[in-house]
Amino acid sequence: MSVQDRVRVRETKLLSDKWYVLKTTTFDWKRRDGTWQTQSREHYDRGNGAVLLPYNLANRTVLLVKQFRYPAFVNGYDDLLIEAAAGLLDNAEPEARIRAEVEEELGYRLGEVRKVFEAFMSPGSVTEILHFFVAEYDASMRIGEGGGHPDEGEDIEVLELAIDEALAMIADGRIRDAKTIMLLQHLALTVFAKL
């Protein structure tokens, strides 16, 4: 039996579509014991996204961004977030979109990029699937300053950090962004561990 056979949607209501789409849905769920249970859930649809962490194997460095995130601030985080370059797909293919984001945010035009996995980031309430990429970079790939688009509210600082420092920043709480932590740990286990 597929999950689709275990869900009967009763009603879906639009709660907001000012920035992205927030809905509430009442549905029946067929439990493992065969009984049906009525549940209600809100779900936020902001579209799918992509994230990429550039690394320089010879220098043992990575490129990250530092920016203000209002939801983190309102939840008590009084600092700028350090993150891997990322963005919503906006109907583009994941690789094409992440290449454009890296150019806008970091100021680098990358060669080969490698997709490493996909993940739901907050499946209890957000529909987004995030496509995770890594790519090697060097100084010759720099085409600009980065920083994002000010007209989109972006005010991004580019950081080049040693991989060991970035991993230490996870441990001491200076890096708290889940997608970034996942990619840093991926590189630590699969790329930098081989040196």
Mean pLDDT of the chain: 95
101 appears as a binding residue in the annotation? yes
> In the predicted model, is pLDDT for residue 77 greater than 70?
yes
Same domain, 118 and 186: yes
Say how far apart CA 189 and CA 177 lie, in whole Å.
Answer: 18
CA distances from 152 to 54, 77, 95, 104, 129 (A): 23, 22, 21, 11, 22
Q: Is 104 annotated as a binding residue?
A: no
> Does one domain contain both 55 and 39?
no
Same domain, 32 and 101: no
Pair (169, 85) in one structural domain:
yes
Statement to judge: residues 149 and 122 lie in one domain = yes
- What is the pLDDT, as a whole number, of residue 108? 97
Q: pLDDT: is 22 or 193 the higher one?
A: 22
Task: For residue 133, give every residue at least 6 positions away whose Cβ sits within 8 Å of its Cβ, in sequence order, or none.
Answer: 50, 51, 52, 53, 94, 95, 98, 113, 114, 115, 116
Q: Is the pLDDT of residue 194 over 80?
A: no
Mean of pLDDT values over 185-189: 97
Q: Which pLDDT tens digit goes with each residue over 132-150?
A: 999 999 999 999 989 888 8
> What percentage of the chain has pLDDT greater than the value 90?
91
On whether both 156 and 75 belong to a single domain, the answer is yes
User: Is 86 annotated in some ligand binding site?
Assistant: yes
**Residue 46 binned pLDDT confidence (cut-offs 50, 70, 90):** very high
- Over range 33-56, report the average pLDDT: 96
Pair (19, 63) in one structural domain? no
Write the single-letter amino acid at 110: L
Question: With bands split at pLDDT 50, 70 and 90, how would you rate the model's confidence at 153?
Answer: confident
Same structural domain, 15 and 83: no
Are residues 176 and 137 located together in one domain of the fold? yes
**Could you identify the residue written with the tokens 């043992």?**
60
Q: What tokens does 125 get? A: 């309430």
Structure-block tokens of residue 163 = 């991989």
Q: What are the b/e assignments for 62-98, b being 16+ CB within 10 Å?
A: bbbbebeeeeeeeeeeeebbbbbbbbbbeeeebeebb
> Contact, 68 vs 155, CB < 8 A?
yes
Q: Are residues 40 and 54 in the same domain?
A: no
Domain count, the chain: 2
Verdict on whether the full-model pTM lies above 0.85: yes
Write out pLDDT tens, residues 78-90.
999 999 999 999 9
Looking at the structure, do residues 100 and 132 belong to the same domain, yes or no? yes
Q: With cut-offs at 50, 70 and 90, classify the pLDDT of residue 195.
A: low
Same domain, yes or no, for 58 and 27?
no
Task: Give residue 11's pLDDT.
Answer: 97
Give the domain extent around 23: 3-45
Q: What is the CATH number of the domain that holds 147?
A: 3.90.79.10
Position 12 pLDDT exceeds 90: yes
Residue 105 marked in a binding site: yes
